[in-house]
Structure 1
Amino acid sequence: MSIKFLAEDDRPREKFLLKGKNSLSDSELLAIIMGSGSREESAVELARTILNSVNNNWHQLSLLTIKDLMKFKGVGEVKAISIATALEIGRRRSAQEIPEKPQISCSKEAYDILKIHLSDLRTEEFWAVFLNQSNKVIHFSQLTQGGISQSIVDVRILFKTALEHFSTGLIIAHNHPSGNKKPSAEDISITKKIKDAGNLMNIQLLDHLIITQNSYLSFADEGLL
Structure 2
Amino acid sequence: MEDSYISKKLSIKEWSVEDRPREKLLSKGFSALGDAEILAILIGSGTKDETAVEVAKRILYSCNNNLAELGKQSIKDLCKIKGIGEARAITIVAALELGRRRSIVEPLERKRISASSDVTDIFQPLLADLPHEEFWVMLLNRSNKIIDKHRISQGGMSGTVTDIRIIMKLALDNLASSIIAVHNHPSGNRFPSDADKNITEKLKLAAATFDIQLIDHIIVTASQCFSFADEGLI
Superposed CA deviations along residues 149-203 of structure 1, whole A, max 9, x for unmatched, are 0011000000101111110000001000000011100000000000001111111
The equivalent of 1:194 in structure 2 is 203
Structure 1 counterpart of 2:162, from 140, 153, 156: 153
In the alignment, is residue 143 of structure 1 matched against residue 123 of structure 2?
no
Contact 2:134 2:153 in 1 (8 A): yes
The secondary structure found in structure 2 opposite 1:179 is: coil
1:101/1:138 contact within 8 Å kept: no
Identity %: 46
> Structure 2 matches for 1:91-170, cutoff 5 A?
102-170=111-179
The 2-side partners of 1:118 and 1:200 are apart by 30
Moved segments of 4+, more than 2 Å:
99-102
Find the partner of 1:177 among 163, 181, 186: 186
State the partner residue of 1:29. none
CA distance in 1, matches of 2:161, 2:137: 13
**Normalized against structure 1, the TM-score is what?**
0.55
Cα distance, 1:215 vs structure 2: 1.5
TM-score by length of 2: 0.53
Deviation at 1:101, TM superposition (A): 5.7
Name the CA distance, whole Å, in 1 between partners of 2:193 and 2:110. Answer: 33
- Structure 1: stretches of 5+ with no match in the other structure: 1-98
Q: For 1:136 and 1:213, locate their aligned partners in 2 and report how far apart those are by CA, in whole Å.
A: 26
**Rg larger for:** 1
Structure 2 unaligned segments of length 5 or more: list them. Answer: 1-107
RMSD: 1.3
Displacement of 1:100 in angstroms is: 5.9
In the other structure, the counterpart of 1:54 is: none
Tell me: CA distance 1:100–1:110, structure 2 relative to 1, closer, same or farther (3 Å): closer
Instruction: Give the whole-Å Cα distance in 2 for the aligned partners of 1:190 and 1:223.
Output: 16
Where 2:130 maps in the other structure, the secondary structure is coil
